[in-house]
Amino acid sequence: MPGFLLHAGATVMCAHAGTAQPTVTNPRVRVSGQPTIVQSSTYTVSGCPFNVSGSPVPCVTAQWTVAALRVRSGGQPLLLQDSQALTTPNSIPLTVTSTQVRVRGT
């Protein structure tokens, strides 16, 4: 499915409202002056308030499972606004709440 390319300044959150940031960016392709993100980049999640029976079990990292089919950089698929990721250890999805809206990919 087509979607806007994800960049380093995009707002990404876990389902518990923790903030997710990429550990590595892709400097070869920039949109809105910021580097894009490739599928192999892990995201770190901070501020996740999730707990089970009063014991904290926050989302810590996330790995992308679905990315662009046709747009690549350095042989790796770029992430799109509708790409899918799962967190560790809770296996819940990340949500892209905002990103640039000028460059689309499929």
Query: Which residues fall within 8 angstroms of residue 5, CB to CB, at 6 or more apart?
Result: 29, 31, 36, 68, 71, 78, 79, 80, 81, 99, 100, 103, 104, 105
Calculate Rg over the CA atoms of the chain. 14
Q: What is the pLDDT of residue 2?
A: 87
Token pair recorded at residue 38: 């490739």
**CB 63 within 8 Å of CB 85:** yes
> What sign has the CA pseudo-torsion 67, 68, 69, 75?
negative
Task: Specify which residues 12 forms β-bridges with.
Answer: 20, 96
Q: What is the pLDDT of residue 45?
A: 98
pTM > 0.85: yes
What is the CATH classification number for the domain harbouring 36? 2.60.200
Token pair recorded at residue 70: 């046709």
Structural domain harbouring 15: 3-105
Q: What is the pLDDT of residue 1?
A: 66
Local confidence pLDDT in tens for the 106 residues of the chain: 689 999 999 999 999 999 999 999 999 999 999 999 999 999 999 999 999 999 999 999 999 999 999 999 999 999 999 999 999 999 999 999 999 999 999 9
Q: What is the pLDDT of residue 68?
A: 97
Domain count along the chain: 1
